Amino acid sequence: MSVLILFLSCKNEERKEVVSAEIKFSKIAELEWLEGDWTHINDESRSYEKWTKVDDSTLTSFSYVMVENDTVFVEDVTLQERMNDVFFTVKVSDQNDSEAVAFKLIPSEKGIFTFENKTHDFPKRITYSNPVKDSIHAWIEGVVEGESRKVNFLYKRTND
């Protein structure tokens, strides 16, 4: 009798594994082109992003900005598909009491991925696109002191 129970238990575990393997994360799969190292360099600063695929539902990024030899901005991002929604969750150590802030993917044009959090001060939207191979056009937008503001970032893939 105990052998039969063990057999049935193993069969149920196998089914669970098959069912979980069949779950598709199609929305996050559209963003896998982010994976890799990226740089944005201009006269004033150097920005770096490193995107890593954690699993089929999650990408993470570590980003920082340098001005001369000083690191002036650091952020950690988790991009995750949960329950048919995709969330861009960002944590900046000296902002928002060091708490993570989530932005939800909203419908937008094909190839443009806009994440929105209407309750956040700035930015309210974070957008990523891949206009040409090995490039990112990202921008943040919202309102600062009553005026609309948009900040662009143009990244190139690092070939290291």
Q: What is the DSSP string of 112-135?
A: EEEEE-TTSSS-SEEEEE--STTE
Residue 5's pLDDT is what?
41
- By CB neighbour count within 10 A (0-12 exposed, 13-18 middle, 19+ buried), where does 64 fall? middle
What tens digit of pLDDT does each residue of 54-79 get? Answer: 999 999 999 999 999 999 999 999 99
pTM for the full predicted model: 0.82
39 CB contacts (<8 Å, ≥6 apart)? Answer: 46, 47, 48, 49, 155, 156, 158
Rounded CA separation 99/143 (Å): 21
What residue type is assigned to position 160 of the chain?
D
**Averaged pLDDT, 90-114:** 92
Is the bond preceding residue 131 a cis peptide, omega within 30 degrees? no
What tens digit of pLDDT does each residue of 14-54 get? Answer: 444 444 445 578 999 999 999 999 999 999 999 999 999 99
Residue 23's pLDDT is what?
59
**Averaged pLDDT, 135-147:** 96
Contact 41, 70 (CB under 8 A): no
Closest-CA residue to 111 (of 12, 56, 34, 43):
34
Residue 21's pLDDT is what?
45
